[in-house]
Amino acid sequence: MVIVDRDGKIVMVNRQTENWFRYDRDELITQSVECLIPRRFHERHVSDRDKFLKAPQARPMGAGHDLFGRRKDGTEFPVDISLHPMKTSEGMLVMAYIVDLTDRKRVESEIRKRHSYERLALLGQLAGSVAHEIRNPLGVIRNAAYYLDMVKETLDDDAQESVEEILEEIDRANRIVSDLLDYTRDPPQQSATFDIVQFIHKLVEERRPTDDELVLVQSRIESFNVTADADQIARILENLIVNGVQASADPITIQIVISSTGSHIMIDVQDEGEGVVESQRLRIFEPLFTTKTKGIGLGLVISKRYAEQNRGTLELVDHTGAGAIFRLTLPSHELVGGEVIMEPKE
């Protein structure tokens, strides 16, 4: 429950609101109620609030629309809200009853996923077989292209450009094949404990970016040990970087911001593209859903599964400004209780 005045200032919250939104009560009192709402809805909410106050009556909020609350850390969760005007000696107040729909939405999502997975099961088996068959000739093409790349100084400009295009398309085809194989199989995890801050720096340094591509790492901590499958974590980050590159216009800058809550590390990958529109946000992690002209819509699905297999989360963060931010959160080594220390791969 949240009670606000005519100006939208919070005058009272209950304990459940503190828990759901992860604020202390003192942090909320006198603050604008918009702090509990995703930023992309702020302007519309102010307008809707003014309309409500002109003809106040008890009613559901946002009928026919999906509503979301925004936690202190920027993450969102689905809610249902009903509004109730209150006349007091100090003027009109509005009481908002809030219900967290996370569990209900999770069940609905699981039902949709079950139906989707049943339809995709046969397709997945076929795709896995096809992917294996494609990988062999793709390897032959790659070796030939690498040879041409080694002697490209002997080629004319058009031929050199063609070699670069071939290598780029081979990398794209390999990612699609890897996505198909990863989606159709569930290999055992190879977990070890390692410094993920150093791991990310090394991963970025060893990438082969294009001339118009820049990946920046901003770390607010020097080190942080996690116990996880390093190959899976690398795959998550590579998927997020590639998605960001594909969503951005030249020149491309991808920022990786590393921070910590003490018990968890948060890795934000931000691009400078157009962001994710509201109608796509709820489907962004669905199998085969993609907003790109290239790709098959499995990269984020696999990345989210890998994050969860490593006791973490992957989510799209609400924020102001251009681009999209995907946040990978992982628990510390101490929480997981890992034992084997692994150095980053050479």
Q: How confident is the model at residue 219 (pLDDT cuts 50, 70, 90)?
A: very high
Predicted confidence (pLDDT) per residue in 27-46, tens digit: 999 999 999 999 998 988 98
Please name the helix (run of DSSP H) or strand (run of DSSP E) that holds residue 116, with its range, or none.
helix 102-150
pLDDT mean over 14-34: 94
Q: Domain 2-100's class?
A: alpha beta
pLDDT of residue 343: 45
Confidence of residue 154 (pLDDT cuts 50, 70, 90): confident
The dotted CATH code for 191-336 is: 3.30.565.10
Statement: residue 84 has pLDDT above 80: yes
At residue 338, does pLDDT exceed 60? no
Q: Which of 11-15, 48-52, 104-108, 289-293 ranks highest by mean pLDDT?
A: 11-15
This prediction's pTM: 0.55
Q: State the pLDDT at residue 163.
A: 86
Mean pLDDT of 128-142: 77
Question: Using one digit for the tens of pLDDT, what is the confidence trace for 238-251?
Answer: 999 988 888 888 78
| Residue 266: closest CA among 311, 305, 313, 320 | 313
Burial of 289 (0-12, 13-18, 19+ CB in 10 A): middle
Q: Residue 346: pLDDT above 60?
A: no
CATH topology (fold) of 104-184: Helix Hairpins (1.10.287)
Q: Which segment of 15-19, 173-177, 241-245, 265-269 scores lowest on mean pLDDT?
A: 173-177
Alpha carbon 80 to its chain centroid, in Å, reads 23
- Report the half-sphere exposure of 60 (CA within 13 A, side-chain side): 9
* pLDDT of 128 over the 80 cut: no
Domain ranges of the chain: 2-100, 104-184, 191-336
Lowest mean pLDDT among 82-91, 92-101, 185-194: 185-194
Residues in the chain: 346
Concatenating the DSSP letter of every residue in 18-39 gives: HHHHT--HHHHTTSBGGGGS-G
Residues 6+ apart with CB under 8 A from 27: 72
pLDDT band at 344 (very low <50, low <70, confident <90, very high): very low
The answer to which of 33-37, 139-143, 208-212 has the lowest mean pLDDT is 208-212
DSSP class of 339: -
